[in-house]
């Protein structure tokens, strides 16, 4: 509109030049021309559509208790590219595969920064980890360590023995319940198993206390809650002092000290361990990082704080995401007994009468992999991908996006988009039959692990753990809901918001031992 108006004024000026000079007439025309020209050239940026906002808090009140759902409802009204002010923080919300491609591929570099939140600054040593560090050379080197040294396919395979041992322990616990009768809290068991796998792979051992609870699990759980806790300073910088009064910052600092003490203990244990105990095929993340640090094999100095920050990333990425996916997957199977039956038939056919499932068996379970894909589509563990931040002005779909704008990609909304997915609200694993679409970041309608430079580097590690645990669960036991007249379609699917979105009500099921 502004361009058209400017063009019209220019044409009028050209016509006016054809008539004899009249000072008064020229002045009358020139004043509005200069006014419009000034407004056009120095006016506000052309921002994407935005819902009406309130003074001070902006659109904060519109996020709701489940932001991924609230944001989709707003995007249905204002479009797949939407501009909000969360407090004083300018925020771009992306809710379509096309827009996600623009963010994570076309303009990936400009959108590759992270907003450095209060929790991140305190818990990950001033944002020197991989997840929250600014895009740049340090981030590239730190991510390279994760991709090549900690989360490569070779490294993932080297931890297969950990998954096997923890899965066996889980099966034994469920087996004991079968003998006694009754139900099991699968949600709690999945959390314990995921924590144990992560703890052993990352730190080298489980940290179980006398009461049987895991110190590792307790700390990681508190960290997941802390990262989504509301901090005034993140949205109202002038009021950051309130976070001290409310206890948020003291709580974060206390948690950081506990993590630091745990890491110091683990590092000291590894440094004093006899070299004769070294098993090159069974190195945990701490051992790998200490060897890189000792041998100066890096292009930058890997201090203990750098090392600890990377370990925090591994903990946050390797615990709740796995247990949450397992929980939703089993809930969907209970709700859809025909899908459960088909998955169990495949698992039991592939494994046969063997006493243990191996990695080659998992590779043959095509239907189980389709079930996992559909679970990640319908229930992405992080429905709002970790926010990005623009590093410069960018022209985006005709709009002007300022620097330091936070960017939220709503993967939950994208993966339920009816223009991309047929019957998107239904759980249909066979939609992936003979379908090349995958969750590795190349198909922007399916991005549970993100995409581009900031995509999750732990994808292979997480998926392999989930596949192995669920295959064992389906192989050894048949499952039903407690009670005589409870049907799967009656199962409550309410969500509880967090860094990952879990089931609001824990999943209690009754197992029956299956004899191969």
Domain for residue 377, yes or no?
yes
**Per-residue confidence band for 247, with pLDDT thresholds at 50, 70 and 90:** very high
Domain for residue 486, yes or no?
yes
281 & 426 share domain: yes
CATH of the domain at 418: 1.10.630.10
315 & 439 share domain: yes
Residue 500 has pLDDT above 50, yes or no: yes
Mean pLDDT in residue range 430-455: 93
pLDDT in tens, 86-100: 999 999 999 999 999
Q: How far apart are CA 59 and CA 89, in angstroms?
A: 10
Residue 3 has pLDDT above 60, yes or no: no
12 & 149 share domain: no
36 & 182 share domain: no
Residue 175 has pLDDT above 60, yes or no: yes
23 & 139 share domain: no
Query: What is the pLDDT, as a whole number, of residue 37?
Result: 43
Residue 59 has pLDDT above 90, yes or no: yes
Query: What is the pLDDT, as a whole number, of residue 286?
Result: 94
Residue 421 has pLDDT above 50, yes or no: yes
Beta bridge pairs of residue 208: 214
310 & 412 share domain: yes
Residue 419 has pLDDT above 60, yes or no: yes
Domain for residue 75, yes or no?
no
Residues above pLDDT 70, as percent of the chain: 88
Domain for residue 109, yes or no?
no
Mean pLDDT in residue range 57-76: 95
Neighbouring C-beta atoms of residue 298, cutoff 10 Å: 16
Query: What is the pLDDT, as a whole number, of residue 273?
Result: 79
139 & 23 share domain: no
Query: What is the pLDDT, as a whole number, of residue 179?
Result: 85
Mean pLDDT in residue range 363-370: 97
Q: How far apart are CA 411 and CA 17, in angstroms?
A: 57
Domain for residue 112, yes or no?
no
Domain housing 267 = 122-513
Name the domain count of the chain: 2
Q: How far apart are CA 493 and CA 413, in angstroms?
A: 17
Domain for residue 338, yes or no?
yes
38 & 169 share domain: no
Q: What are phi and psi of 241, to 5 degrees?
A: -60, -25
Alpha helix (H) residue ranges in 296-447: 304-318, 320-335, 337-351, 359-363, 366-378, 411-414
29 & 127 share domain: no
Averaged confidence pLDDT in the chain: 88
Residue 384 has pLDDT above 90, yes or no: yes
7 & 126 share domain: no
pLDDT in tens, 290-307: 999 888 767 778 899 999
Mean pLDDT in residue range 271-289: 74
Domain for residue 99, yes or no?
no
Query: What is the pLDDT, as a whole number, of residue 18?
Result: 54
Q: Counting Cβ atoms within 10 Å, is residue 424 exposed (0-12), middle (13-18) or buried (19+)? A: middle
Q: What is the pTM of this model?
A: 0.89
Query: What is the pLDDT, as a whole number, of residue 516?
Result: 65
Neighbouring C-beta atoms of residue 426, cutoff 10 Å: 11
Residues above pLDDT 90, as percent of the chain: 72
Query: What is the pLDDT, as a whole number, of residue 497?
Result: 86
pLDDT in tens, 116-161: 999 999 999 999 999 999 999 999 999 999 999 899 989 989 999 9
Domain for residue 61, yes or no?
no
């Amino acid at each position: 509109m502004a361009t058209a108006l400017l063009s019209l004024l220019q044409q009028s000026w050209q016509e006016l030049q054809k008539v004899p000079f009249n000072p008064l007439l020229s002045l009358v025309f020139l004043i509005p021309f200069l006014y419009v020209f000034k407004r056009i050239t120095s006016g506000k940026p052309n921002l994407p559509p935005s819902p009406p906002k309130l003074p001070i808090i902006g659109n904060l009140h519109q996020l709701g208790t489940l932001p991924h759902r609230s944001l989709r409802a707003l995007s249905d009204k204002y479009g797949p590219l939407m501009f909000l002010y969360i407090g004083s923080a300018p925020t771009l919300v992306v809710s379509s595969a096309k827009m996600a491609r623009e963010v994570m591929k076309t303009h990936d570099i400009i959108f590759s920064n992270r907003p450095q939140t209060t929790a991140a600054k305190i818990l990950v040593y001033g944002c020197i980890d991989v997840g929250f560090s600014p895009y740049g050379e340090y981030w590239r080197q730190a991510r390279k360590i994760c991709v090549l040294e900690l989360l490569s396919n070779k490294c993932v395979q080297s931890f297969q023995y950990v998954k096997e041992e923890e899965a066996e322990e889980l099966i034994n616990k469920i087996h004991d319940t079968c003998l006694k009768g009754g139900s099991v809290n699968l949600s709690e068991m999945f959390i314990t198993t995921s924590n144990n796998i992560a703890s052993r792979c990352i730190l080298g051992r489980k940290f179980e206390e006398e009461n049987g609870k895991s110190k590792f699990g307790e700390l990681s759980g508190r960290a997941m809650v802390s990262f989504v806790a509301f901090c005034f300073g993140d949205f109202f910088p002038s009021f950051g002092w309130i976070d001290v009064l409310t206890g948020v910052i003291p709580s974060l600092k206390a948690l950081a000290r506990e993590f630091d003490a745990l890491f110091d203990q683990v590092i000291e244990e590894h440094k004093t361990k006899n070299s004769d105990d070294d098993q090159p095929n069974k190195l945990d993340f701490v051992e790998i990082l200490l060897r890189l640090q000792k041998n100066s094999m890096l292009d930058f100095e890997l201090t203990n704080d750098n090392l600890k920050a990377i370990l925090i990333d591994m903990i946050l990425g390797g615990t709740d995401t796995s247990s949450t996916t397992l929980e939703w997957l089993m809930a969907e199977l209970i709700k859809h007994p025909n899908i459960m039956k088909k998955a169990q038939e495949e698992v039991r056919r592939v494994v046969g009468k063997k006493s243990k499932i191996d990695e080659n068996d998992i590779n043959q379970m095509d239907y189980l992999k389709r079930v996992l894909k559909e679970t990640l589509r319908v229930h992405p563990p992080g429905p709002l991908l970790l926010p990005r931040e623009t590093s410069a002005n960018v022209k985006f779909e005709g709009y002007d996006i300022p620097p330091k704008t936070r960017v939220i990609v709503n993967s939950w909304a994208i993966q339920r988009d009816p223009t991309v997915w047929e019957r998107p609200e239904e759980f249909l694993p066979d939609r992936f039959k003979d379908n090349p679409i995958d969750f590795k970041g190349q198909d922007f309608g399916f991005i549970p692990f993100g995409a581009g430079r900031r995509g999750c580097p732990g994808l292979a590690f997480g998926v392999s753990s989930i596949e192995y645990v669920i295959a064992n669960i389906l192989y050894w036991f048949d499952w039903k809901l407690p009670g005589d007249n409870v049907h799967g379609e009656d199962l409550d699917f309410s969500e509880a918001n967090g860094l990952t979105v879990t089931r609001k009500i824990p999943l209690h099921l009754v197992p029956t031992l299956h004899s191969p």
